[in-house]
Each structure stands twice: as structure tokens, then as C-alpha cells.
Amino acid sequence: MARNKGSSTLSSPYGKDQTPLFERLIKVGMALSAERDKNRLMETILLESKAITNADGGTLYIRGNMIKDTVSGKQIFEASPEGNQLKFEIMRTDSLKIAIGGTTGKDISLPPLYILSPDKGEKNLRNVATASVLKGTSINIADAYKNEEYDFSGTKIFDRDTGYRSKSFLAVPLKNNQGDIIGVLQLLNARDFSTGKATVFHESIQPVISALASQAAVALDNQQLIAAQKNLLDSFIKLIASAIDAKSPYTGSHCQRVPELSMMLIDALENAESGPFSNFALTPDERYEIEIASLLHDCGKVTTPEHVIDKSTKLETIYNRIHEIRTRFEVIKRDRVIDALRNIIDQNSDPKEVLENLKKQLHHLDDDFAFVADCNLGGEDMEASAVKRIKSIAKLKWARTLSNRIGLSPNESQLFEKGGKEVLPAEESVLADRHFHKVPHDENKGEDIKKSLWRFNVKIPKYKYDFGEIYNLCIKRGTLTDEERYKINDHIAQTIMMLETLPFPRKLARVPEYAGGHHEKMNGTGYPRGLLGKNMSIPARVLAVADVFEALTANDRPYKKPKKLSDCLDIMYNMTNNEHLDTDLFELFLTSGVYERYSKKYLDASQVDVIDISKYISTK
């Protein structure tokens, strides 16, 4: 960069007027403080240093270590003021038109420099950059070819191959405000402002470059701290998502795949050239905000009990209670056999008739239990006649002679004592809804208060849980009671409560809204706030589409068989017709090919059938 003498700042060869240079130094410092992009920041440091000294070339090194990434398994560089390596970040040589690293997108293939030898730990004082770190001072070389203290053999080979003449060097350590050296700025071949010929770096300019280096180090250190905090936040959020998926085999990799699918759809929105989303655009911060929200969209599931998430039969809690009922039927059958044998022994009836009647009774009991067991599996719709039969079977009695008040926890004892005094032997129904099956809401958590405080538009069931056997066996569809469905849906409310409590920075302020809106519906019948589609943000609607599609197409859920892709799209199409999902987003999901790209990556080949998306696209 050419500069006239009037713009120089110090004594010869940089001139006499100091004001312009110091003004520039202040402006550079302000620019460094404001810059948020690490590559542009490092580039500014190097280019401004080159401009001030009129250097032909320069290199910026960052201190750290090469480590193995735990996710990819690849070697990556981790910046650290305690690191033993200097990594080439940016290289520039104007006369040779060399510009690599930084914002150029061109990687520097040179290996990092070792500050201490990796085998013996000896100080590398022969290299100018590493010596600058070890000594903690600037090193000014007037002519590399006449210097014997440092090893410039590599420099001379470079010169020989390129026809270049490396002469003067100025290496300045980048010290942060704790005095730690986080990198090195190395300038090459200062040029005379008048003639353009290579000259020495004048001693008078060193304090200016050192001051700039100090400002740069603080700015760069802040960037590294911010990057480290962001990396910690990202890692912690991914850890939460992984933990939720690992909590139950029924969630599979849901929290890993929904973010990927969401961002694929966000890309499609940004690339839309026509239609309702043609003006949709995001800043990098806004994209990051959506990505974080998608990773946290189900974080409330950490509060959902596993026996609810994993409930695969109607009578299942921590275990499947069908085994208790089987035992009761076995007791009744044994009693019937005993009664028959006593009748024969006492010669009260014809033995043949007694045995024939016993056979019918046992067969009827077996049939009743088989029916109960079948009802326990759940299904699409339980008919009224089946409910009636369950209630009829419940009238069967069996005799209990052992106390049910012993061997209990204090809480369980309190529930049983509310039933009054125990009298043995006790005649009990083979199926029953008992008082201790009804678990009240936690008084200290106040569901009504939660509903009011967080603006949730939900119907709260009377009880926290109802484990009644008849009640559960008569569930109309599936295996969940109203109370359990409330508990399942409550994970969205918990997600909102957890996220709105966190002090997110301004650029992540909408994470709770995006994450907490993926179960809302366009017609206002969704959960937990009953929002209308017009009151939902586009990212929240995107997460809703991604959440449904991932759940429908998942082939790693032990509770269901993998669905065909066409079946999944049929279901989603019906959901748009019923105003559950955004129609425009669903159509873009199809026309952009997002559904197809995702399916190729995550669906089994047996799931992917021929799709004609035209039947799902509106012609209006």
C-alpha cells in the first residue's frame, strides 16, 4: 500500500507528523474491538500492521495445540496460551501475490511450528517466531542473510525457488491483558516509502507495532474466549439433546435429527425465489438462534417420567401389572379347583357333573383373562362392548389373606391407610379402581399457578395419575390415560418454562418461542398456549413440520413398525387440511426436495416408495 510522506507518523523513514498515525492506531483499535468475525479480525491485524510499516509481507501465527476431535476423530487445532505450537493462520506477500488463510478460504498447508521440541522439550530459539514467544519480546532482523543467530535456511530455499529476496523481519508477540502470549505477528521486508525498496524496520516504529499487537491480542483473546464459551454452550446443548434421546429407546435419535431437518428446511426457505417465502432471509446470528432452538425443542422431556414415555401397554407403570392380574386369575382358578374337590370329597354332588362344571369354569376364566390381556395391548379404538365386558369381568372376586399394609414405603402406606381399617381375609375384585390408584397433583408445584403464570391454555386433569386397573384397561385408543397424555404434553410446557428462565443473550432471545411452539397448530388447538398460525413465527412452524416428519418416518422406534414414506406424507397432508401444519411450509418441504434428501439419508430403502408430490400441492 503506497503512502505519501505527509501521512507518516514518526521520524525518518516514517516522517515527522505523528497525528495521522496515532489517529489511525486509535481507529484500528476501535475496529478490532468491534469486529466479531475471527478471520476478519486476524486479517485486520496483519493488514494494518503491514500498512503502518509498509511491509511487503507478513504472517500471523496463533498459539495452541493440535488435538483429536472427539466427534469426528480428526486432528484439529485448539488455540491456547499454554500451547506448544504456532499455527500459520494468515500469510501475505504483496509482490508475489500470495494471499492465503483468513477470509481467502485457502488453507495454509505448512505444519505448525513447535515452541519446544516434542521429543526432548528443548527450546526452539532458532526460529524467529518461536524465539519471540520464548523471549517474550519483539525481534527485529535487519537482514536475514547476514544473521547467524536464527535459522533462515527455509527462507533461503523459498527465495531460491521464487526469485524473492527476504531481507528484514519483525516478529512481535501478541500478549493479552494477562500477559499471556497467544500468537505472533511477523512482518517481512519493510519498504522505503519513497523508493519502495526493501529496508529495515525502523526502531521507532516498533513501539507502535507493539501497541497495535497488544490491542490485537486483547481483541483476539476476547474472540477466543467468546468462541470457547460458544463451543461450551453448543457442546452442553448437544449433550442435553443426546441425554434426552438416550433416556428412552422410544425417542431414538429424535433430538439429533430434528435440528438437521429443520436447518434443511430453513435453507430451502432462504433459497426460495418465488412464493410466500421469497423474501425470507436470515443473518448468521438468526440461523444460529434457530439451530439452538431446534436442539433444545424437547429439553423438557428430562422431566417426563420414563414409565410414561415408555408405557407400551395399558397396565404398565414401572412394570406391566398384567402379571398381578394373571396371579389373581390363577388364585381364582385354584379356589375353584379346591371347591370342586371338596364337593367331591364331601359327596355333595355327582363327581362327573362337578368336574364337567369345573372344566367350563376354568375355560371361562382362561377366556376372560385372555380378553383382559388382549385389551391391555391397546389399539386404534376400543368398542363399547369391550368396555362393558371389562367391567363385567371386574365383578369376579378373589380372597386375599395376607396384609397389603406391610412392606410399604411411608408414602405408599399413607395412600393405603386412607382406605380405612384392613380386615382379613378380604374379598377383592379381580380388576379394581382403588383409592390409592388416584395420585393427587403435587401441592407445591401448583398446576393452576403454572397455567396462569406461563400463559398456558391447557385443560388440567383432576389427578396427577390414575392407575386404576379398570380405568386403564378401558382406554379408548392407545395405552395412555388422559393424565399421562397431559404429562407427555407437559414436556412442551416444561421446555418453555426452562428456556424462558434462562438468561439468553439478545441474539438468542427467541429460542424459547421457537423451541416451545412446535406443538402449536395453525387453527389454535395446539399445545400449550393454543396459538393461531398467524401468531406463530416461521421458525416455530418449521420446527413443527420437522418434528412431525421425523417422528412419522423414524425406523428405530421399538413401539411401531416403520411407515412407508407415502403414508407419512399422506398423514402430514391431512394435518395441513385440518390446519395443524403450515400448508405453505409443507409444500415447500416437498417442492424443494428436502423430504427426499432427508429420506435418502435416514430412511430404510424399504420405506422409500414412489412419491407423486403433485397430489399434495395446491393448484390455486
Which amino acid, 217? A
DSSP count for the chain of H helices, then E strands: 20, 13
Using H for helix, E for strand and C for coil, what is the string for 501-570? HCCCCHHHCCHHHHHHCCCCCCECCCCCCCCEHHHCCHHHHHHHHHHHHHHHHCCCCCCCCCCCHHHHHH
H/E stretch holding 187 reads: strand 181-191
Residues 102 and 214 in one domain: yes
Check residue 620 and give its pLDDT: 58
Residues 562 and 413 in one domain: no
What DSSP string describes 194-212? TT--EE---GGGHHHHHHH
Residues 287 and 327 in one domain: no
Does residue 65 sit within a domain? yes
Neighbours of 572 (CB within 10 A): 21
Check residue 4 and give its pLDDT: 38
Residues 160 and 40 in one domain: yes
Q: How many residues does the chain have?
A: 620
The last residue of one of the domains, among 414, 439, 464, is 439
Residues 221 and 276 in one domain: no
Check residue 71 and give its pLDDT: 59
Please identify which residue in the block is written with the cell numbers 499471556.
Answer: 180
Residues 395 and 273 in one domain: no
Q: Is 171 helix (H, G, I), strand (E, B) or coil?
A: strand
| Count of alpha carbons within 13 angstroms of residue 468, beta-carbon side | 18
User: Which spans in 54-190 are helix H?
Assistant: 128-135, 153-162
Number of domains within the chain:
3
Grid cell digits, residue 232: 461450551
Name residues whose C-beta falls within 8 Å of residue 81's C-beta, 6 or more positions apart in sequence.
Answer: 63, 176, 178, 180, 181, 182
Check residue 521 and give its pLDDT: 94
Residues 41 and 147 in one domain: yes
The DSSP output letter for 435 is: G
Residues 572 and 539 in one domain: yes
Q: Is 141 helix (H, G, I), strand (E, B) or coil?
A: strand
The last residue of one of the domains, among 169, 194, 228, is 228
Residues 377 and 503 in one domain: no
Own/partner contacts of 322-326, CB < 8 Å, gap of 24 or more, are 322/372, 322/373, 322/376, 325/369, 325/372, 325/430, 325/431, 325/469, 326/369, 326/373
The DSSP output letter for 459 is: P
What is the CA 619 to chain-centroid distance, rounded?
37
Range of the structural domain that residue 360 is part of:
322-439
Does residue 501 sit within a domain? yes
Does residue 79 sit within a domain? yes
Neighbours of 614 (CB within 10 A): 9
Using H for helix, E for strand and C for coil, what is the string for 248-292? CCCCCCHHHHHHHHHHHHHHHHHHCCCCCCCCCCCCHHHHHHHHH
What is the CA 573 to chain-centroid distance, rounded?
28
User: What are the CA-CA distances from residue 502 to residues 121, 374, 505, 510, 511 (Å)?
Assistant: 46, 46, 9, 12, 10
Residues 215 and 177 in one domain: yes
Does residue 583 sit within a domain? yes
CATH number at residue 260: 1.10.3210.10
Does residue 16 sit within a domain? yes
Residues 286 and 333 in one domain: no
The dihedrals phi and psi of 482, each to the nearest 5 degrees, come to -60, -40
Radius of gyration of the chain (CA): 37
Contact 340, 333 (CB under 8 A): no
The dihedrals phi and psi of 90, each to the nearest 5 degrees, come to -140, 135
Residues 284 and 370 in one domain: no
Distance in angstroms (rounded) separating the CA atoms of residues 593 and 135:
58
Does residue 456 sit within a domain? no
The last residue of one of the domains, among 439, 472, 501, is 439
The string over 363-397, giving b where at least 16 C-beta atoms fall within 10 Å of a residue's C-beta and e elsewhere, is eebeebbeebbebbebeeebeeebbeebeebbebe
What DSSP string describes 350-398? -HHHHHHHHHHHHHHHHHHHHHHHHHHT--S---HHHHHHHHHHTT-EE
Distance in angstroms (rounded) separating the CA atoms of residues 241 and 256:
7
Neighbours of 469 (CB within 10 A): 24
C-alpha triplet 526, 527, 530: angle, nearest 5°:
60
- The pLDDT averaged over each successive group of 10 residues in the chain (620 residues) is 36 44 70 74 86 93 86 79 94 95 90 93 95 96 95 94 95 90 94 91 88 82 81 85 78 86 96 93 94 93 87 92 96 95 88 94 97 91 94 96 92 82 92 92 71 81 94 94 92 91 92 94 92 94 96 80 92 95 96 95 91 84
Does residue 388 sit within a domain? yes
How far apart are the two ends of the chain, measured CA to CA in Å?
60
State the greatest distance between any 2 C-alpha atoms of the chain, in Å, as a whole number: 133
Q: Is 172 helix (H, G, I), strand (E, B) or coil?
A: strand
Contact 399, 427 (CB under 8 A): yes
User: What are the CA-CA distances from residue 98 to residues 2, 53, 59, 90, 408 (Å)?
Assistant: 18, 18, 11, 10, 79
C-alpha triplet 573, 576, 581: angle, nearest 5°:
120
Does residue 298 sit within a domain? yes
What DSSP string describes 55-92? EEEEEEEEEEEEEE-TTT--EEEEE-TT-SEEEEEEEE
Q: Is the pTM of this model over 0.75?
A: no
Distance in angstroms (rounded) separating the CA atoms of residues 335 and 428:
14
Contact 545, 552 (CB under 8 A): no
